[in-house]
């Protein structure tokens, strides 16, 4: 079961890292802003749902081996971390992303009219920053979880 947890969390972090370091910069570097925004808007829900699935797999790996864990707080921390990762991803998927998507067209119209400082653009920026912080939180919690899992010994346990 440890292998399941390590695989799921590693795949999740790899997917998030690839999205943030390759897909988004490439989209905004190659496409015009509206097309890049549409591409990212198409990718993000799919990423979040895949992340939720991987999170559930990671959680299952932890829960199914509960009897093997000594019971101290440090041994329960991986469970807390995967729940934090799932909560942050759910926040992005169900709260932040719909609000960001709702503002996207208004922000593009304001920018086209030369009003880059519109209230919609400011709100979009705040929501995007929260979404980015959520992703960083997932990355930090996942890295900590993998370190804790590695500390437990062999991968086969």
Residue 72's pLDDT is 74
Euclidean distance between CA atoms 24 and 36, whole angstroms: 8
| Cβ neighbours of residue 118 closer than 8 Å, sequence gap 6 or more | 106, 107, 110
| Cβ neighbours of residue 143 closer than 8 Å, sequence gap 6 or more | 13
Residue 135's pLDDT is 98
Residue 82's pLDDT is 97
Residue 78 CB: number of other CB atoms within 10 A?
A: 26
Q: Look at the alpha carbons of 32, 108, 89, 50 in this order and tell me if their dihedral is positive or negative.
A: negative
The residue among 63, 41, 60, 50 whose CA lies nearest residue 12 is: 50
User: What backbone torsions phi and psi does residue 113 show, to the nearest 5 degrees?
Assistant: -85, 0
In the chain, domain spans: 2-151
Residue 138's pLDDT is 98
Can you give the pTM of this predicted structure? 0.91
Residue 71's pLDDT is 67
| Cβ neighbours of residue 40 closer than 8 Å, sequence gap 6 or more | 23, 24, 27
User: What backbone torsions phi and psi does residue 106 show, to the nearest 5 degrees?
Assistant: -65, -40
Q: How many Å separate Cα 135 from the centre of its chain? A: 4
C-beta separation of 29 from 93 below 8 A: no
Q: Could you state, in chain order, the average pLDDT of each consecutive group of 10 residues for the chain (157 residues)? A: 94 98 98 94 97 97 76 83 98 98 90 87 96 98 95 61
């Amino acid at each position: 079961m440890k292998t399941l947890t390590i695989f799921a969390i590693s795949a999740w972090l790899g997917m998030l890292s690839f999205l943030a370091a390759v897909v988004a910069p490439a989209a905004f570097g190659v496409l015009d802003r509206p097309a890049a925004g549409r591409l990212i808007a198409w990718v993000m829900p799919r990423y979040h749902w895949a992340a939720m699935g991987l999170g559930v797999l990671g959680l299952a790996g932890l829960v199914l081996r509960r009897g093997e864990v000594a019971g101290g707080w440090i041994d329960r921390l991986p469970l807390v971390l995967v729940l934090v990762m799932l909560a942050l991803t759910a926040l992005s998927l169900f709260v932040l992303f719909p609000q960001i998507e709702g503002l996207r067209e208004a922000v593009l119209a304001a920018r086209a009219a030369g009003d880059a400082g519109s209230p919609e653009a400011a709100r979009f920026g705040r929501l995007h920053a929260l979404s980015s912080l959520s992703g960083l939180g997932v990355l930090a919690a996942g890295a900590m979880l993998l370190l804790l899992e590695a500390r437990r010994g062999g991968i086969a346990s």
